[in-house]
Amino acid sequence: MMDFDTVLKYASLYVEVYEHPMTSRNKGLYMDGIVWLNKGLTSVDKACVLAEELGHHNTSVGNILDQSLIQNRKQEQLARQWAYEFMIPLEKIVQAYHSHIQDRFQLAEFLGVTEEFLQATIDRYTEKYGLFAQVNERYTVCFNPLGVIEIV
């Protein structure tokens, strides 16, 4: 599980992280090696937002605040994709299968993410792989409906 403390420890290797009260609209910001997180968020929300801001650190260039520009929207999408794969690699879904996770709420809790972040990740994986993805030789993760098939 990637809880906030785990993500923060990883992030601190690459960026400085500060918490500050922000308007409810702003969850986090990244600029020049510094991440600002909205202090009012839950720790699960903070983990997801910090992962996305790390995605910006790893994939974005320049000021992309103006989302009316297509190149900025593309950079935003790349940062989110990075966060999804960082927080929920396909192998983690297989681990959840082995832990007998029954529904999306339990899965989000197991993974340490919000249900919204989980759904966005599933949507992205569906765009990237189609309806399913192979995880090593033994497992297939199905995205709709969400599940894991083990090949024995």
- The pTM for the full model equals 0.92
Mean pLDDT over residues 20-36, rounded? 92
Element (H, E) at 143: strand 139-143
pLDDT band of 1, cuts 50, 70, 90: confident
Cα–chain center distance at 79: 9
Rounded-to-integer distance, Cα 37 and Cα 27, Å: 6
Query: Contact, 126 vs 144, CB < 8 A?
Result: yes
Q: How far apart are the first and last CA of the chain?
A: 26
Percentage of residues of the chain with pLDDT beyond 90: 87
Q: pLDDT tens-digit profile of 79-114?
A: 999 999 999 999 999 999 999 998 999 999 999 999
Percentage of residues of the chain with pLDDT beyond 70: 100
* Residue-range domains of the chain with CATH: 1-87 (1.10.10.2910), 89-152 (no CATH)
pLDDT band of 126, cuts 50, 70, 90: very high
Please tell me whether residue 61 adopts helix, strand or coil conformation: coil
